[in-house]
Amino acid sequence: MSPIKRLVSKQLGELLKERNIITDEQLKEALDLQRQKGGLIGEILISLGYAKEEEIAQALTVQYGFPYLPLDNYEIDREIIKLIPEDLVKKYGVIPIDKIGSTLTVAMVNPLNINTLEELESITKCTVQPFVTTSTSFQKAFKKYYQEKSGK
């Protein structure tokens, strides 16, 4: 799998500022925190209450061209769910959505993780097409399709 290319050269913080989601000061605070503690800038902005998950996900769609897929009202075939083992679904924040031919569509909290995509392609023997989703949307789908079926 080749590296994921940006469609827009702007950083996530710049895109959020352009959309009037965050201010210069909020971005500076988040970047300072990132330098101190590490982590993804989008998650830091969410934890600080400066941005919503959906706003970060939508900015990623602009930045990298990933389609955004909220999973709340999406019904996934149980046979598709079986394509990725539960432990990997939980570990990588990925939910299989659909399979057409040898292409598997997945919704991911972090679609920039090339290693995850490569591992999924190796396990499923499919080309993986990522969509971006929010952490909350992923957690709800995980509970619905994995925890409820196993009675956990």
pLDDT tens track for 74-113: 899 999 999 999 999 999 999 999 999 999 999 998 888 8
Question: Which residues does the chain have with pLDDT short of 70?
Answer: 1-9, 148-152
What local confidence, expressed as pLDDT, does residue 130 receive?
Answer: 93
Q: Give me the pLDDT at residue 52, please.
A: 95
* Predicted pLDDT of residue 1: 57
Q: Is the pTM of this model over 0.75?
A: yes
Complete domains list, the chain, with CATH: 12-52 (no CATH), 78-150 (3.30.300.160)
| Residue 5: Cβ-neighbour burial (10 angstroms; 0-12, 13-18, 19+) | exposed
pLDDT value of position 49 = 96
Nearest CA to 126 out of 108, 144, 100 is that of 100
Beta-carbon contacts of residue 59 (< 8 Å; ≥ 6 apart): 12, 15, 16, 19, 21, 42
pLDDT at 119: 94
- Give the rounded distance of the alpha carbon of 35 from its chain centre: 22
